C-alpha cells in the first residue's frame, strides 16, 4: 500500500476493498498496534424484504428486549474482566514512575482494556447484523446516554452496555441493507400499556407491568418494546396515530 506523503508500507489486509476509496486514517493504539482504516464510497445493497417489524428496548438487566418478547442477555464485558483490570492496575501503581517496569505494566493494563473493547465491539456487530438481516423495519429508543451516565450508581453499567455503539451499528447496517430504521422518544414507553394506552407510574424495581384497565401483564421491557414499535410505525405512517392502535398484533 502506498500512502501520500508517507510512501509504501506493508499491511495485512483484513478484507478486499469495496467501492471507491475516499479517505485513509493511520493510527497507533495504546498497546503499540498500528491500524490503517480506509473509508470507501459504496452503493447500497438492499436485502430481500422479510416483512418483519421489531421494536427494541435496551436495558441493563437484558441488553435488548424485542417487541416479540425475545431477550438478549447483557454480557457485561467490563464487569467480567474487572478483577483482572484491578489486579493489573495495582501492579502499575506500585511501579516507580519513569522506569521500564512501569512502561511494561502500562502496556498490560492497556491490553486488558483493549480486550474488553474488542469483545464489546464484536458483540454489537453480531447483534446488529442479526437484527438487520431479520427485520424490514427496526425501531429503537433515541436515548440521551450522555445525560444518563450522570447517575453515578448506573454510569459504569450504562457505559459497559454501549447502547450508542449498538444503535449506530444498527443505523448504518440498516441503511446499507435498505431497511427502515427509526429512533423514537422513549418517554413513558415503560409506563404506558401497549394494549389500551393506560399510563401508570413504575419504579425501577418493578419489573412487571400490570394494567388495571385491560388486565395486560407483561415484563416491563417487553411492554416498552411494543410501545416503541407502535411509535416508530406511527412516524412512518404505517399505522394510525391512535393510542389504542396495537402495532404488534
219 is catalytic: no
- C-alpha cell of 203? 419504579
Given this model, what pLDDT does residue 148 score? 82
Which among 132, 90, 137 is positioned nearest to 109, based on CA atoms?
90
138, 179 Cβ separation under 8 angstroms: yes
Q: pLDDT tens per residue, the chain (249 residues)?
A: 787 778 888 888 888 888 898 988 889 998 989 998 889 998 888 999 999 999 999 998 899 999 999 999 988 999 889 999 999 999 999 999 999 999 999 999 999 999 999 999 999 999 999 999 999 999 999 988 887 877 788 888 888 888 999 999 999 999 999 999 999 998 999 999 988 888 999 888 888 999 998 888 999 999 999 999 999 999 988 877 655 555 555
Distances (CA, A) of 246 to 19, 51, 221, 228, 232: 42, 17, 16, 11, 12
Q: What is the pLDDT of residue 246?
A: 59
pTM of structure: 0.86
How many whole angstroms separate alpha carbon 140 and alpha carbon 229? 8
Give the Cα separation of 38 and 9 in Å (integer): 14
Q: Which three cell numbers stand for residue 125?
A: 456487530
Task: Match 385491560 to its residue by C-alpha cell.
Answer: 214
pLDDT for the residue 112: 94
Q: Give pLDDT, residue 143.
A: 86
Q: How far apart are CA 44 and CA 48, in angstroms?
A: 13
Query: Among residues 52, 141, 160, 219, which one is catalytic?
Result: 141
State the residue for C-alpha cell 437484558: 62
Ranges of H-type helices in the chain: 77-80, 82-94, 100-134, 145-148, 155-161, 163-176, 220-236
Q: Is 41 a catalytic residue?
A: no
H/E run at residue 218? strand 217-219
> Of 18, 49, 57, 114, which is the active-site residue?
57
- 43 noted as active-site residue: no
Q: Beta-carbon neighbour count of residue 16 at 10 Å?
A: 5
The predicted pLDDT at position 249 comes to 53
Helix axes 100-134, 82-94, angle to 10 degrees: 160
- Catalytic hit among 49, 84, 221, 249: 221
pLDDT score, position 244: 52
Supply 28's cell numbers.
497507533
Amino acid at each position: 500500500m502506498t500512502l501520500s506523503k508517507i510512501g509504501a508500507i506493508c499491511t495485512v489486509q483484513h478484507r478486499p476493498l469495496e467501492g471507491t476509496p475516499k479517505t485513509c486514517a493511520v493510527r497507533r493504539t495504546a498497546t503499540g498496534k498500528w491500524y490503517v482504516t480506509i473509508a470507501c464510497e459504496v452503493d447500497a445493497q438492499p436485502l430481500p424484504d422479510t416483512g418483519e417489524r421489531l421494536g427494541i428496548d435496551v436495558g441493563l438487566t437484558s441488553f435488548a428486549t424485542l417487541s416479540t418478547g425475545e431477550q438478549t442477555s447483557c454480557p457485561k464485558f467490563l464487569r467480567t474482566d474487572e478483577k483482572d483490570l484491578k489486579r493489573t492496575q495495582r501492579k502499575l501503581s506500585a511501579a516507580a514512575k519513569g522506569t521500564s517496569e512501569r512502561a511494561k505494566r502500562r502496556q498490560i493494563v492497556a491490553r486488558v482494556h483493549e480486550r474488553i473493547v474488542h469483545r464489546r465491539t464484536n458483540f454489537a456487530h453480531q447483534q446488529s447484523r442479526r437484527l438487520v438481516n431479520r427485520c424490514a423495519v427496526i425501531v429503537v429508543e433515541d436515548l440521551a446516554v450522555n445525560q444518563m451516565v450522570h447517575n453515578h450508581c448506573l454510569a459504569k453499567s450504562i457505559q459497559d452496555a454501549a447502547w450508542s455503539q449498538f444503535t449506530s451499528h444498527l443505523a448504518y447496517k440498516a441503511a446499507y441493507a435498505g431497511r427502515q430504521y427509526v429512533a423514537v422518544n422513549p418517554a413513558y414507553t415503560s409506563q404506558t400499556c401497549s394494549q389500551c394506552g393506560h399510563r401508570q407510574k413504575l419504579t425501577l424495581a418493578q419489573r412487571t407491568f400490570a394494567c388495571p384497565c385491560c388486565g395486560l401483564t407483561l415484563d416491563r421491557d417487553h411492554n416498552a418494546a411494543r410501545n416503541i414499535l407502535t411509535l416508530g410505525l406511527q412516524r412512518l405512517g404505517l399505522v394510525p396515530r391512535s393510542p389504542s392502535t396495537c402495532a404488534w398484533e
